[in-house]
Amino acid sequence: MSDIIFKYFEKISSIPRGSGNEKEISDYMVSFANDLGLEVIQDEVYNIIIKKDASKGYEDAPTVILQGHLDMVCEKENDVDHDFEKDPLDLYIDGDLIRARGTTLGADNGMAIAYQMAVLASDTLEHPPLEILMTIDEERGMTGVANMHPEYLDGKILINLDSEEEGEFLVSCAGGVRSQLKLSHTSIDPDTSLKYYQINITGLIGGHSGTEIILERANSNILMGRLLNDLNKNIDLKLSRVDGGSKDNVITRDTKAIIGISKDQEERFKDVIGKWQNIFKEEYRVQDPDIDIVVESLELSSVEYILTEDIKNKLISLLVLHPNGIQAMSKDMEGLVETSLNLGVLTTNSDSIILSSAIRSSVPSRKELLLEKVEELGKLVGAEYERIADYPAWEYQPDSPIRETAIKVYKEMYNEEPKINAIHAGLECGFISEKLPGIDMISFGPNIRGAHTPDENLSISSAKNVWDFLQELLKHIS
């Protein structure tokens, strides 16, 4: 029966479902529920709730909510031609793994949706009354769960299926917020006497800015700031633009800068590039062994404008001083990141430069402190500060019957203890606990590696194991 979960995963992978583009997948779920004769609610933001009656003998059991999100992070390799607005994912099997050619796989959180669909379609599964909650826009800001109508739900237990480590039960998560700095400027015409180059810091692995921030991989936006700062000290540097990243919850893998220099400074320019190539290679030889600096000569016609000296210096200062990466480790749980920031997106426009970051912390006061640092940094250079998409932490509950049941079932099935853990990434459980006070929650899922990168992959055997465990767990809720 486990093949059914891969059938459903393949189906949803044929439907574009990037964050902010979930209407088609949401409409498909309405049709899916209608075809099964089940009650379905589609709210105004396209969240889906599907209700299924208890199987025989479970009518008096507490209602269980199975929860996952419909959207996925859309990242691709630079040389891959893929339109996430309309193209299906190109899935393939690599041994025990499912991958997508050149793009993110969307197993985060497509496997949750596949599990939910399989549960709904089964006429043999033993289970309590079920409410299937499929939210939108989790990856971009959790606006789906933030706008969820709690009055549509009766569940007393919630199983979140948005975890990525088999055999691990998550029982709390960090809260988070997005911050944005906007540095306004007036662009000027490029100097026709200069030689122009594009610098590309590339070859980085990147990753999920929550779960993989602990790996301390390089952020190409931050590296570009270091490189530009040294260039600015050593040559008369003109800066046209700097652009890196597309999502603030992804560790930035590729950043480009367009610069102009006089011809007599070309040798010094090459020396500085070579110096930083060696520095970056040495610093990140373990985390990002393929890091590279690629320089390309540009025609004057491809340079639209350059920044004033004042704005150039302010931008470089922002990139050098901006917090990034792990800020504090948990004192309560060994190996858990407490507070972090990821400068995920840097965009240069003709009238402004935008720096967007994802901030996470399990300690609200530490999250506020980091926000204050970004805000004060912005003030120093005259940048506007904005706080966006704040979401709460999911706090650990000492008394959790669903956690105890899950532990018992897991030990009976595998003769070993599961890991009980917290996660630095944000889960929708924080919002849900606010909207449904007293709800008993747990989170688990199959082995997914490389989430939020084109290297994302799903273990087939692990996905089957989690499907078996989910079925057994539902049988034991009474």
Which of the following is catalytic: 75, 131, 138, 288?
138
Dihedral (C-alpha) 272, 275, 277, 282: value to the nearest 10 degrees?
Answer: -160
Which of the following is catalytic: 71, 131, 137, 456?
71
Our answer to whether residue 71 is catalytic in this structure is yes
The secondary structure of 70-91, three-state, reads CCECCCECCCCCCCCCCCCCCE
Neighbours of 458 (CB within 10 A): 28
Are the CB atoms for 43 and 460 separated by under 8 Å? Answer: no
Q: How far apart are CA 388 and CA 382, in angstroms?
A: 19
Q: What is the largest CA-CA distance in the chain?
A: 84
Q: How far apart are CA 326 and CA 439, in angstroms?
A: 31
Which is nearest to 132 in space by CA: 154, 147, 151?
A: 154
Our answer to whether residue 440 is catalytic in this structure is no
Residues 6 or more apart whose CB falls under 8 angstroms from that of 369 comprise: none
Are the CB atoms for 464 and 183 separated by under 8 Å? Answer: no
Dihedral (C-alpha) 57, 59, 63, 64: value to the nearest 10 degrees?
Answer: 20
Residues 6 or more apart whose CB falls under 8 angstroms from that of 168 comprise: 418, 419, 420, 421, 444
Collapse the DSSP code of 106 into the 3-class scheme (helix H, G, I; strand E, B; otherwise coil) and give the result. Answer: coil
* Residue 28 Cα distances to 68, 134, 140, 410, angstroms: 16, 12, 21, 33
Dihedral (C-alpha) 5, 8, 9, 11: value to the nearest 10 degrees?
Answer: 160
Q: How far apart are CA 206 and CA 195, in angstroms?
A: 31
Which is nearest to 70 in space by CA: 114, 35, 10, 38?
A: 114
DSSP letters spanning 357-385: EEEEESSHHHHHHHHHHHHHHHHHHT-EE
Are the CB atoms for 73 and 104 separated by under 8 Å? Answer: yes
* Residue 125 Cα distances to 37, 220, 306, 407, angstroms: 17, 48, 64, 21
DSSP letters spanning 48-68: EEEEEPPPTT-TTSPPEEEEE
Q: Locate all alpha helices (DSSP H) within 284-419, ordered by sequence.
A: 309-321, 364-381, 401-414
Q: How far apart are CA 182 and CA 134, in angstroms?
A: 34
Show which residues are catalytic: 71, 138
